[in-house]
């Protein structure tokens, strides 16, 4: 899911600038197939109301709305900049509400369906967030989540990027590989049943991933920790090298991405 700034306590290093918005547009394109497949397979029916948690500029909100057949869909987003973008692009039947999705209760009507994609990775208390989101569902409603369980490449440029972003997120109490714990986190939410949990191995387009990563470096390099912990000359070189890969300028090893997904159903009692 588009992961914009979750809370005042959580630091969203990937930003909400125009560059960050372009990154989210590309992210939506790259990960449309697995997210569409999850929604198609596991959305309840019928769906009167659906939620897109941390909706960013609204790409996944439109996907949730169209794929689930929801009568109405609400995107929830903390960033005012992304809210404005999402509202400008919202199709009929979609509303966008500015709200921190880690603060409950969520200011929405109970929903049959909620989706979170690549949001828990930016939170220091992912279990508490899952419990908050389940609380926004009707009995029998389903929360669908996708997160990265593993992200690696034998290419030295891509590998170095993954090492740096992992260090940055760990500094902020977050986990790049939160998907490796997604099933356990979901199972610990009281009053729920995990009806599906899987890890899907992906080999996404290397140029597309490099383009995403280059835009990320341009955004998170201004984070206070990154400014003091990382060599700016190395970040310059890394961004240039990622740009070359994004443009197809040299061959690289694959990007190996294991995508964890889980479906949690709220109890009916």
- Can you tell me whether residue 19 is helix, strand or coil? helix
Q: What is the Cα Rg of the chain in Å?
A: 18
Please state the domain extents for the chain. Answer: 18-150+175-204+253-266
Percent of the chain with pLDDT over 70: 96
CB atoms within 10 A of CB 71: 13
The tokens 């290397």 sit on which residue?
206
pLDDT band at 268; cut points 50, 70, 90? confident
pLDDT tens digits along 180-213: 999 999 999 999 999 999 999 999 999 999 999 9
pTM, rounded to two decimals: 0.94
Euclidean distance between CA atoms 79 and 56, whole angstroms: 8
Of the candidates 94, 7, 31, 102, the one whose C-alpha atom is nearest the C-alpha of residue 260 is 31
The rounded mean pLDDT for the chain is: 95
pLDDT tens digits along 51-71: 999 999 999 999 999 999 999
Euclidean distance between CA atoms 204 and 257, whole angstroms: 7
Euclidean distance between CA atoms 156 and 151, whole angstroms: 13
Percent of the chain with pLDDT over 90: 93
Written as six digits, the tokens of 14 are 């990937």
CATH placement of domain 18-150+175-204+253-266:
3.40.50.150
pLDDT tens digits along 84-100: 999 999 999 999 999 99
* pLDDT for the residue 110: 98
CB atoms within 10 A of CB 5: 21
């Amino acid at each position: 899911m588009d992961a914009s700034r979750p809370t005042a306590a959580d630091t969203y290093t990937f930003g909400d600038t125009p560059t960050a918005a372009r990154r989210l547009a590309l992210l939506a394109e790259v990960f449309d197939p697995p997210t569409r497949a999850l929604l198609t397979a596991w959305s309840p029916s019928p769906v009167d109301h659906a939620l897109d948690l941390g909706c960013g500029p609204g790409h996944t909100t439109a996907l949730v709305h169209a794929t689930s057949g929801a009568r109405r869909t609400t995107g929830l987003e903390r960033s005012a900049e992304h809210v404005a973008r999402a509202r400008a692009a919202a199709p009929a039947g979609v509303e966008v509400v500015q709200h921190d999705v880690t603060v409950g209760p969520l200011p929405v009507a109970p929903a049959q369906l909620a989706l979170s994609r690549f949001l828990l990775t930016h939170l220091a208390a992912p279990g508490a967030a899952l419990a908050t989101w389940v609380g926004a569902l009707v009995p029998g409603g389903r929360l669908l989540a996708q997160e990265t369980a593993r992200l690696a490449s034998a290419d030295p440029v891509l590998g170095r990027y993954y090492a740096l972003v992992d260090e940055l997120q760990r500094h902020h109490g977050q986990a790049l590989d939160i998907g490796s714990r997604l099933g356990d986190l979901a199972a610990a939410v009281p009053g729920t049943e995990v009806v599906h949990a899987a890890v899907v191995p992906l080999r996404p387009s290397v140029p597309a991933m490099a383009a995403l990563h280059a835009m990320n470096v341009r955004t998170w390099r201004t984070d206070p920790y990154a400014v003091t912990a990382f060599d700016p000359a190395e970040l310059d070189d890394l961004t240039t090298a990622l740009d070359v890969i994004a443009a197809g300028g040299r061959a690289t090893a694959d990007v190996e991405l294991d995508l964890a997904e889980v479906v949690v159903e709220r109890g009916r009692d």
